């Protein structure tokens, strides 16, 4: 696979994020030995950015894969990897953010993550840790206090960078109005059929790096569709180039 290029993050650090990452969300969510095996294979291929989240239940198998990769000599040190994880909505309350990240680090077996994201711009009643969930448990997020706790995660060295996921321009503006440290990343669904031009331009203006998830449409998941891989235009391009539709 060779070396994967990196992009500088528009944050207060000199960090750079690999432009190609390996997602660990397997639907239905739940850590398994398959996740660990897949991550090890990805490391062998050259992947160095791994994206996890508390709700995926993939943090523990990711941590086990990192330990195994070090033992096998696939990587020389943890510093070769860029590890992302996410704060689940039931912990998106100011007093629960740091404990949630500490739990994530314990599962990963790491001292820090390279990037910690607010998973969604909403909060849930504490203890609601399964999806799908009943809408009656949804709560408005206190952006100011939750982001202050995220900033504290950065100051404590628990995460080298902090950011958000699934935030619209409006929600980003609400956060930026009080943030002392702007989000380095906004991870959102982007694909050939949902290009999010307005959001991407907004983030570029604010120096927020956009990470795309489900670029192939997430076929077979709760949130995904077959529309990308079944797209006739993409089929024509793939045929003309002698590539698969995914390529």
Listed in sequence order, the residues at least 6 apart from 112 whose beta carbon sits closer than 8 Å to its beta carbon are: 105, 157, 158, 159, 160
Q: Is 47 considered catalytic here?
A: no
Closest CA to 86 of 125, 59, 124, 48: 59
Q: Which residue out of 56, 116, 154, 213 is catalytically annotated?
A: 56
Element at 103 (helix H, strand E): helix 97-108
Q: Please state at what angle helix 197-205 crosses helix 169-176, rounded to 10 degrees.
A: 20
Cβ atoms of 225 and 200 within 8 Å: the answer is no
Confirm or deny that 119 is annotated as ligand binding.
yes
Listed in sequence order, the residues at least 6 apart from 119 whose beta carbon sits closer than 8 Å to its beta carbon are: 53, 54, 55, 86, 87, 88, 89, 92, 165, 166
Q: Which residues carry a binding-site annotation for substrate?
A: 119
Q: Which residues carry a binding-site annotation?
A: 119
Residues with active-site annotation: 56
């Amino acid at each position: 696979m060779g070396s994967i290029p990196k992009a500088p993050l528009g944050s207060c650090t000199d960090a750079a994020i690999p432009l190609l990452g390996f997602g660990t969300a397997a639907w239905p969510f739940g850590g398994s030995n398959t996740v660990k095996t897949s991550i090890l294979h990805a490391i062998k291929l050259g992947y160095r950015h791994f994206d996890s989240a508390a709700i995926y239940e993939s943090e523990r198998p990711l941590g086990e894969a990192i330990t195994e990769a070090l033992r096998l000599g696939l990587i020389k040190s943890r510093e070769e990897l860029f590890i992302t994880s996410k704060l689940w909505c039931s912990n998106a309350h100011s007093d629960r953010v740091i404990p949630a990240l500490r739990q994530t680090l314990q599962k990963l077996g790491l001292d820090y993550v390279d990037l910690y994201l607010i998973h969604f711009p909403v909060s849930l009643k504490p203890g609601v840790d399964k999806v799908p969930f009943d809408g009656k448990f949804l709560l408005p997020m206190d952006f100011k206090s939750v982001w202050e706790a995220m900033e504290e995660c950065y100051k404590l060295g628990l995460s080298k960078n902090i950011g958000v996921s699934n935030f619209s321009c409006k929600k980003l503006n609400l956060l930026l109005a009080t943030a002392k440290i702007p989000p380095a990343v906004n991870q959102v669904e982007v694909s050939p059929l949902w290009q999010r031009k307005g959001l991407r331009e907004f983030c570029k203006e604010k120096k927020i790096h956009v990470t795309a998830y489900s670029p192939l449409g997430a076929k077979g998941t709760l949130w995904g569709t077959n529309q990308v891989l079944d797209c006739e235009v993409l089929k024509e391009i793939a045929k003309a180039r002698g590539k698969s539709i995914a390529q």
